[in-house]
Structure 1
């Protein structure tokens, strides 16, 4: 089995004397683990940071074994974010959520594109937290648990959608949701449209929304909590008054 693909590094851990087991999110192959010889070397460590973009070349004698890979860096890598700890926290959270949520060796091109869009936005401090929320919403959709924000679940109305049902993930209008508002999730406007604007509390509402459905549909059935890096990101954004 052999392939070559664009990829993002999701995680890397030492293996043996100098090797590393690396999880990659690839454009066409999905999430793949591979052994990289010399992965803990001084030269390779910067390339294998979570979020780094690479060209990966993979080889295995049989398809179901852990194969080996070589990687070549693409672009600046995460070094350009070293002066922005908050953006690094966002990148670490996205990598941890993708690594924990995506199944092995199953193509999910939408997840790759969502991750790519987030990485591109991390240099824009005013907008990347909202793009992060959209990344998680895209990941849910790619896994078959997409939110239906097109119309009110109760009335079919297209207007004044401000809530989401925590059970179904469908939007609810202001009037229909008023009697149940304490039980509904808040729907921030930026999740309805790129021109929806970003107001105070919107990022928190978005993270609460996607976090709820990640827990309900993805991590709950696996008996796992949200990854610690995701919890830490929320805390860091709160400390920085960016929610």
Structure 2
């Protein structure tokens, strides 16, 4: 097969302890999936889950031993961090039942759903899509993926984010409004999931702005941490 110009490299994420990498197909994100974060965003109660997407090439990755650099994006004066557990899909499917969801999961990573909050808020007020606030270049930093078999207790793992050594976000995966299996069930009714899909599962309360020079460290217990500097 030939193309009219050279095809771009496939976006990919390192896998802990392996030379092989995880190729990224799509990036799905779950909105307002922790109660306290939902409240700080102005929502209440257990609303039905909703989703948005980021481009696969929005990935910013680095080995756990290194620091990733994320350029401060254009058009914003209010760049926010959102630390999240990321689910990596290894076996695709549609209309997946929650009871069967685990066998579709390849592994887990910690990620950051970086958000141009001012642009997102403008879109909300106008009733327009959030893409400009969520799906921009370099908006999805992610750490190394750990195979699911190595983290059997992920559903009750702690999740946290520090900025320049100060804790900004802290919670537990057990606080998800829609847990991992329920999220896969809901998501797979709207899209046919494919191997290589990533699901950013939501963020705890405490989202706030970062500026150039800030160093973010994202953690989920049992996974490789992610360090990112805003440049």
TM-score normalised according to structure 2 size: 0.25
**Quick check: which one's strand share is greater?**
2
Larger relative contact order (Cα-Cα within 8 Å, sequence gap ≥ 6): 2
TM-score normalised according to structure 1 size: 0.24
